[in-house]
Amino acid sequence: MTDDLSYTIQIGTDFDLGQDLVWTLKSDPLLPSSNVSVPRPKRYRKTLPDLVQGSEAIAITNKDFVTMAGLDPDKLDKHQHIFLSLIDPMQRERYFCPAGDWFYGLGERLAKYRKVFAHAPVKFMMSLRNPAPLLSDAWTSGLYTGLDVVQPDPFELRWCDLLSDLRAHVPDTPFVVWPAEDSPFVWGQVLRAAIRPGVDVSVASELYVATQLMNEDGGARLRSYLEAHPSMPADLRARVITIFLKRFAHEDAVESDILFPGWTDALQDQMEKHYAADLDKVRTIDGVTLVSI
């Protein structure tokens, strides 16, 4: 059945630390019986962008998308929710930061994607990240030859400005965003925001990011502890995770150096303040929910 589907569409890049979201959802044991579908990205990541390449987006029916995504319509509930993860709108070289213009034309592209799914309720999600390490990872990826020609200024990336522009282009569509740095503490909230209200996820999924930063013994102990305290408030839960991260940190869980020309410790201090002020402004944008500690 494909009568009344709804969608969450995550947009992002391989450098925003948010790409674990689709795989955490896909592997969660509770979701298949909860009317939530998470098709494999390779099913649609090449096909969907073709629908927005022209001057006008090509709308697609629920039935046609279900076929595109390789889902069995006979196994879908009438009110099925589908989670999608796209990197093309932000990561392609001509979009990422051409001539220093961060995520050029993203608002226009998202408006087209919204028209593709004009028949259905849609929510967009995005992982935010401190611009300096985001740019550093993009720089060292080797994907962007243009970064050597016009070096982007990470201080020019203001998530509040980008999200305000996106809301102006798709005013009928809510956004849920989160700072990637908070992911170990808010991953459960992020997962629940990606699916329909009232659907829960497993403790293992909720702790996926945190346990990736711990040794095996610490991860097992944390899961066991939180499974025994299912009603623990979110703020106390975050403090517990912090304690476990300090005690059982994986030996490889260290912050990467910022690797692009001219970056200094003094600039990094300025960037921390820039990013914190940026997130404060994101909190005030109508239609945008910031999930953070």
258 inside domain: yes
Residue 186 to residue 200: CA distance in whole angstroms: 14
Per-residue pLDDT of the chain (293 residues), as tens digits, is 556 899 999 999 999 999 999 999 999 999 988 889 999 999 999 899 999 987 788 888 888 999 999 998 888 877 799 999 999 999 999 999 998 899 999 999 999 999 999 989 999 999 999 999 999 999 999 888 878 778 899 999 999 999 999 999 999 999 999 999 999 999 999 999 999 888 889 999 999 999 999 999 999 999 999 999 988 998 899 999 999 999 998 877 667 788 888 899 999 999 999 999 999 999 999 999 999 98
Alpha-carbon dihedral sign for residues 108, 82, 180, 160: positive
Nearest residue to 112 via CA among 189, 48, 192: 48
What's 82's domain CATH number? 3.40.50
For residue 131, which phi and psi values (nearest 5 degrees)?
Answer: -60, -30
pLDDT at 1: 53
240 inside domain: no
175 inside domain: yes
CA count, 13 A, side-chain hemisphere, 286: 4
Helix, strand, coil fractions of the chain, as percent rounded to 5:
50, 10, 40
Where in the sequence is the domain holding 266, given as residue range(s)?
A: 6-213+253-290
This model's pTM is above 0.85:
yes
Question: Which residues 6+ apart lie within 8 Å of 103 measured at CB?
Answer: 90, 95, 96, 97, 162
Tokens 């220093």 sit on residue = 100
245 inside domain: no
Nearest residue to 243 via CA among 185, 180, 186, 204: 185
Q: How many domains does the chain have?
A: 1
Q: DSSP assignment, residue 176?
A: E
239 inside domain: no
